[in-house]
Amino acid sequence: MIVVIYLYHNLVNNREETGFLNNEEDARMLAATLIAGIELAQLDHVKTWNPNHSDHAFITTMGIDVLTFEFIFTSGFASLWYHKSITCPDTNSQGIPCLNCCSLNAGGALGLMLHYLNSTMHETSLQQIFTLIPTTVSCYLTSGLPILLQTLHSMCCSALVVACHSHLEGAFGSIDGLKLPVQTSHDVDIENTTYNGWFSKHFVSSVIAFSAEGVVIAARTNVPRSWHNSCVASRIYTKLHLNTPPGYYIITDTVFPHGMTSVDGHIYTPLKHGQVLHGSAAKIEEHMVFNCQLLSYCQTTEWSMRAIQGAFGRLHMPLNIINEEACSNLIKTCLQLYNLCAHWQATEDDLDVWRDFKSMLFSEQRKKVL
């Protein structure tokens, strides 16, 4: 590593002697890539030295297995970590990164970000785990979370619905709301818009749309809890109106308006309690079967919401109300990490859970899913 750091400074400071590098940016990117490659080789060496390693520790502390950790690491996080300067009050954000002065390498920084997102622990505990002083942890989180979000954004991440719900032809996803606790603001107006009288606490709202594979396909995040879900989802309604072909629709509960002309036929909801059906007995029977399948499919949204809240303990802690951008980025990062792990794989265990969920014990579900 010392040799590479020496090479890094040579590349940056002696660009005239390296004709294949056009500017300082190229030199920094090349050096960052070299260091990331060395760290990946070190990871491979550890894996070769201990081939029987378990994913249990990674999943328990960071919510992902070793392969997913390596995937994020090699998909741009390491290069970005070494390419960008750490945000500190007393440093130049546009300056050259001092690689030999970092307390954590890229792998350690990624571990810190994932520990933070997947736990409810205070920063004091993170300082003890990673042997860092308070200011360093704060600076690393401030700089590292945007890098992680940028990395996840750059990563690649209907027939399934019909296969399991034959009457839902044209359904491509579902939508639901999510409330997250937030700190109390000193601004009276903000405090009022985030306060929920039913729970006597402060929250922000998000509306998330999931595909049939359980992947997030649209989201509106970090808006005042006092807003109605239909208002929060207005941009998603616009996409349904402008970009959804005829015959395709999304499934949700009755909280979301579905009778508006702009989204007519693009949103379906189960029947309300006491709603009267008209028509022949055959038509009513067919409608009831369709309604039962709508209810069944709505359950998949609850699974996805539970997966997000269960995986990221940080979302159970009151979010930062002062820095709106940081709060929004934290939620987006959690959704991107969820997407990374949520892609549907048609294994026998997954299909068993999908088909026989109602008749399975919770212990059996866990054995199939984990």
What are the DSSP calls for 90-143, one per residue? Answer: TS-TTS---GGG-SS-HHHHHHHHHHHHT----HHHHHHHHT--HHHHHHHHHH
Q: Is 282 helix (H, G, I), strand (E, B) or coil?
A: helix
Q: Is 85 helix (H, G, I), strand (E, B) or coil?
A: coil
pTM of this prediction? 0.72
Contacts of 90 (CB under 8 A, 6+ apart): none
pLDDT value at position 114?
A: 92
Is the per-residue pLDDT at 292 higher than 70?
yes
pLDDT value at position 350?
A: 67
Structure tokens, 260: 């508006």
Q: Which amino acid is at 124?
A: T
Cα 41 from chain centre: 28
Share of the chain above pLDDT 90, in %: 7
* 71-75, 172-176, 222-226, range with the lowest pLDDT: 222-226
β-pair type (171-181, 201-211)? antiparallel
β-pair type (201-211, 195-196)? antiparallel
Cα 88 from chain centre: 26
* 99-113, 170-184, 195-209, range with the lowest pLDDT: 99-113
Cα 123 from chain centre: 21
Is the per-residue pLDDT at 54 higher than 80?
no
pLDDT (tens digit per residue) in 11-21: 444 544 444 44
- Convert 80-119 to b/e letters by CB count within 10 Å (16 or more is b): bbbbbebeeeeeeeeeebebeebbbbbbbbbbbbbbbbbb
CB 246 within 8 A of CB 233: no
User: Who has greater pLDDT, 113 or 67?
Assistant: 113
pLDDT value at position 334?
A: 92
Instruction: Tell me how long the chain is.
Output: 370
Is the per-residue pLDDT at 180 higher than 60?
yes
The phi and psi torsions of 181 (rounded to 5 degrees) equal -70, 145
CB atoms within 10 A of CB 325: 10
CB 144 within 8 A of CB 112: yes
Is the per-residue pLDDT at 51 higher than 80?
no
pLDDT value at position 346?
A: 57
* 71-75, 269-273, 362-366, range with the lowest pLDDT: 362-366
79 confidence band (pLDDT: 50, 70, 90): confident
Is the per-residue pLDDT at 80 higher than 70?
yes
pLDDT value at position 98?
A: 62
Is the per-residue pLDDT at 204 higher than 60?
yes
pLDDT (tens digit per residue) in 113-126: 999 999 888 888 88
Q: Calculate mean pLDDT across residues 201-230.
A: 84
Integer Cα distance of 221 and 331 in angstroms: 7
Q: Calculate mean pLDDT across residues 306-311.
A: 87
